Amino acid sequence: MMLKVKSSKLFILAMVFVFTTVIPGWSSVVIATPATTSDFTQLNATQIVSAMGAGWNLGNQLEANSNGTPSETAWGNPTITKALIQKVKAAGFKTIRIPVSYLSKIGSAPNYTIDAKWLARIKEVVDYAYSQGLNVVINIHGDGYTSITGAWLLCNSSDQTTIKAKYQKVWQQIANTFVNYNEHLIFESMNEEFDGTYGTPNANYYSNINAYNQIFVDTVRQTGGNNSARWLLVPGWNTNIDYTAGNYGFVLPTDTYRSTTVPSSEKRIMVSAHYYSPWDFCGEESGAITQWGTSATDITKKSTWGQEDYLNSQFKEMYDKFVTQGYPVVIGEYGSVDKTSADSNNNTYRAAFAKSVCIAAKKYSSVPIYWDNGVNGQYGFGLFNRSTYAVTQQGIIDAIMSGTGTTPSTTIAPTTLKNQRSRLTSDK
C-alpha cells in the first residue's frame, strides 16, 4: 500500500465548542475544544484506506491477562520492543493494530481511573509505532469477553447504567492521553463484542452495543483537539460481516460533536469486521482441513464452503452497505493457523488465503489487518519471532504485500524457526 502524501498544512484558528452531555444520570459538563494541531492532515475515506495499507496485529500482548490482570507477557510473548515494530515496518506493513485490555487496571466508581503505569506502557508501545510513521489502531479488547475473568463490558448484563458510565470514563482517559497525536492514530471502540452465544443476535443486547459505540464517538469527540477530527472505528455484533451489514440491528453512531473542519460531505467513522472463514481451515486446531482455494490439490483436505466466491461476496456485502455511503471498512483481523505438522503444503494455502483476502480488500476499498498472536509452529498465526525479530513466514508476508500492491521498505530473508510456545490462538 501507498504511504499517505500530506497536502498543504491547514492552520486553523482555535474554536470553542460548548456542549452538554445528554446520557441520563451523568452531570452536565462544559468543555472547551481546541483546534487540531498543525501536523494533523485531514484524510477522506479513500485517502485513509490508501494510507493504512497492509496491516498487522500485535496480538496476545497488551490484551493478555492473568486472572483479569493485564500483562503483556502473560500469554507467553516477550516484552514488546521498538526493534520488533521496526522489523514489522521493514516487512512492508503500514498499520499496526494494538489490542489493549484494561480489566483490573481500572479503578472504582465514580472516576474509574486507569492505572497510571499501565496507561504509560500503552502509550510507550503506541509510540514505538507512531514514531516510525506507522498508522496505529488501539482499542478496548478483552474487557468485553464473557470468557475472561474480570470482564465488564458485557452487552447482556442487567446493569447497563454502570457499564456505560465506566465505559465513558475509560474512553475519556484514553482519548485525553492521545489527544495531540495526528491522523496516524485511530481509536477502535471495542473488539468482538457480543453475548458469547453464536447465532442470530439478541436485539436488546445489540442495542447495548450500538449504545457503546455512540458513547465512544461522543466521548472521544468531546475531548477536542485532534480527537474532534480523527478517524474512529466501530464494530457490529462480534465483528461478524452478516450481522453487521445485514438486517440484524446494527446502527451506525451519529457524529454530532466532530470538528467543523471536517467537510460536511465526508465521514470520519469506519466499520470493523473480522474474517476467519472457513473456520475449519482458518482456526480449527486439527489437521483435517489444511488446503484452501481453487489451487487445492486434495478435495478431502478442503472445506466445503468459504472459498474465493464466498470471500468476495462477504467483502462486497460490507462495501455495498458502508463503503458506498462513505464509511470505510477495516478487516481488523484475518488469518489462518499453521497446520504444516499435518500437511507440509499448508503454508502454500495459508499464503493463498492471505493474498485473496488482500486482493478482495483492495477491490472493495477495505483495509486488511493480519492477526498475529506471536505463536510460531503448530496452530500459530505468527509471522515474526518476537524474541529474535526474525521473519518466520516470508511466504505469507509476500502474499499480503502482493495482494495489497505494497513494496516492502527492506528485503528480509525468510527464516525457519522451531516451535515457540504452547499458547495457541488465545483470542480466537
Active site residues: 192, 333
CA distance 337 to 347: 9
What would you report as the CA-atom Rg of the chain, rounded to the nearest whole angstrom?
21
Residues 194, 270, 335, 57, Cα dihedral to 10° = -100
Q: Which three cell numbers stand for residue 350?
A: 495459508
DSSP class of residue 80?
A: P
Give every CB contact of residue 229 below 8 A, 6+ residues apart in sequence.
36, 40, 42, 183, 258, 259, 261, 262, 268
Contact 215, 161 (CB under 8 A): no
Question: In a 10 Å sphere around its CB, with 0-12 CB exposed, 13-18 middle and 19+ buried, how is residue 3 labelled?
Answer: middle
CA distance 339 to 284: 10
CA distance 359 to 405: 9
Return the sign of the alpha-carbon dihedral for residues 346, 93, 143, 25.
Answer: negative
Give CA 52 to chain center in angstroms.
12
Q: Which residue's C-alpha cell is 482499542?
A: 139
Q: Please state whether beta strands 232-235 and 95-98 pair in parallel, antiparallel, or not at all (unpaired).
A: unpaired
CA distance 49 to 54: 10
CA distance 338 to 30: 53
CA distance 354 to 359: 9
State which H helix or E strand residue 397 sits in.
helix 394-404
Alpha helices in 178-278 (DSSP H): 203-222, 241-245
CA distance 242 to 200: 10
CA distance 212 to 189: 8
